[in-house]
Amino acid sequence: MEIDRSIALFQQEQWAREEEEKNRSFLEQYDPKNHIKYTLEELIEGIHKKKQYLYTLKLEFEERKLLSGRLAIPFIRDFFDVVDDEPDTALLASNSRHVTMTFSDTPGRKAVHSTEEWIEGMKGSMKAMNLHMSVEQTKVLGNMEYLCCTMPTAKGKIYNVVFYMQKDDRLYAGTLNCPEKDKEGMGLMLEACAHVIEEMNRQGGDVS
């Protein structure tokens, strides 16, 4: 009887595992992330139109000025749990979506250097904190330079869009990040936001 009971329990566990695998396969089959691919240009245009779906998530944008009005950004409405805007630093965070944006500025003009020197300087800073940064791409947009990179954290890998930008007599820096697994969706959206930030602060216009 004890053997029969053990066999029955083993069969129940096996059936449960098989059912869980079937459910996982079903969800993956109909997960929009496996079927919808976005382009950077498409998401930039969505920000310009102030409305963009990211899979099933509806994002609406408006212009907002941070850092005592010196930096204009495309702000995602009803998205952030934390909005902390101080004169020299700003933090926007969505705990549910695991998305964070930080911005800061200092007086002065950027030093003349190559993008490679900037990247090596960032890698050196990360190494000093025992963090390894893997750079995936770099770009120059007008007065902005940015890079996209991944780095490990205690909660898993994160995908970062890091920029610095000259505007008037101040140097602006920003980091926008999300989980590395979301880089093809939310990560690309954050890169599109960086493009629009450069546009808004170069031209002085809003996202329209």
SS3 content of the chain, % helix, strand, coil (to 5): 40, 35, 25
pTM exceeds 0.85 for this model: no
Beta carbons within 10 angstroms of residue 48's beta carbon:
17
Burial of 152 (0-12, 13-18, 19+ CB in 10 A): middle
What's the pLDDT tens digit per position in 73-114? 999 999 999 999 999 999 999 999 999 999 999 998 766 566
Distance of CA 138 to the CA centre of its chain: 15
**CA atoms lying within 13 Å on the CB side of residue 101:** 25
Task: Give the pair of three-digit tokens for residue 123.
Answer: 């890698």
Distance, in Å, from the CA atom of 164 to the CA atom of 143, rounded to the nearest integer, reads: 8
CA gap 187, 42 in Å, rounded? 14
Residue 176 tokens read as 């926008």
Alpha-carbon distance of 3 to 117, in angstroms, equals 69
Confidence (pLDDT) at 176:
98
Query: How far is residue 114's CA from residue 26's CA, in Å, rounded to a whole number?
Result: 49
Helix (H, G, I), strand (E, B) or coil at 68: coil
Q: Any idea which fold 38-203 has?
A: Protein Transport Mog1p; Chain A (3.40.1000)
pLDDT value, residue 133: 80
> Cα dihedral sign for 71, 76, 77, 80?
negative
pLDDT of res. 53: 95
Tell me the domain boundaries of the chain.
1-30, 38-203
Q: Provide the pLDDT for residue 7.
A: 57
Counting as low any pLDDT under 70, the low residues of the chain are 1-32, 110-114, 203-208
75 contacts 61 by C-beta, under 8 angstroms: yes
